[in-house]
Every structure is written in structure tokens, then in C-alpha cells.
Structure 1
């Protein structure tokens, strides 16, 4: 993830950009995408859902602090547990006041 993301694409890592590219190349067919990656449809759906959440976080919170955007993106990726996310967000908000 880019330190200073100004576009949603700046948020994405190389693997995520590759996933988006493959998604476009199969015209959005999750079945075909699952075949290309050799995984199940639900696995591809989960990855796409997390990617969508990450982009939505950027769109909704692009005017927030970099720390808050990163925490929200990590949470959307499933990299933070609920209680850890809430605790870190509370700390980040207190520090920015």
C-alpha cells in the first residue's frame, strides 16, 4: 500500500493490481477467474469482496488521516481483528485531536 495514496489504484499492491487485470481480461467472470488462479469460486469472490471494501474505504475516507485510512484498509483486507481495529482507531483519533 502506498504511503500517500491519492488515487484508489495507489492503494493496491502488485498482486491486487494483477488480480484486477485478470478480472478485466476474463470480462468479470468469477468462474473463469477462479479457473485461472486454480481456486474455488468462493475464494475468488472473497478476494474480490475484500478488494471492493478496500477501494470503498479509500473513496469514503480519502479526507481522513493517513493512519485512519491505513487501519481501515487493513481491516477491510481482514488483517485486523475487530477489537484490535477499534482500539487502534480510538488511539489514532485521540492522537490527531
Structure 2
């Protein structure tokens, strides 16, 4: 991989996500230290990391239809609740398969 090429998963992250990743790396992966630096609790940082992991997984999942990926991104970014996202994806898949 060339240094001039930004991976799709990285390009899909916003500035806050990149800042979080930088802080996480600089704290040697210590969520406790990251929580302290943000002035929040460990569970709050753990939830943020879990959401970031989900964002990366969605960006890396090339098997997904672009529409399904969009719905997942909206849910992960809290623009759409997960239950609604599941309904939209399931209905879309039914339409696509003709069921």
C-alpha cells in the first residue's frame, strides 16, 4: 500500500474519530488513560471504541450492497436507530430477492 493512498475505512471516519484513534494510540491503547484524558468514564470510552470498530467494519465490508452499507453507517452514526435500520435492510432484501 502506498503512503499516498488513504484506505477507504480511514477516509470514512470523521475528525473526531481520527482524534480518538490518535489519543488511543498515544496512550498505548489504555482505555482507562483515554477516559481520564477526556474526563469521562471507562464505559463511555468503551462504547465510543465499539462504535468506531463498527464504523470500520462497515467500511471494510465489501460484500454489502451500497444501500445496506449506507443504512448501517447511518445507524452507527446515530442518524437512524438500529431497529429502524434492521427493518429497512430486511425490507430491502425482500424486495431484491422477490420474497
**TM-score w.r.t. length of structure 1:** 0.75
Runs (4+) off by over 6 Å? none
Task: Kindly report which structure 2 residues correspond to 1:1-97, keeping only aligned pairs within 5 A, or say none.
Answer: 7-59=8-60, 61-93=61-93, 94=95
**Larger Rg: 1 or 2?**
2
Question: Structure 1: any 5+ residue segments left out of the alignment?
Answer: 1-5
**Cα distance in 1, alignment partners of residues 65 and 46 from structure 2:** 30
**TM-score w.r.t. length of structure 2:** 0.74
**Cα distance in 1, alignment partners of residues 78 and 37 from structure 2:** 23
RMSD: 2.3
Question: Structure 2: any 5+ residue segments left out of the alignment?
Answer: 1-6
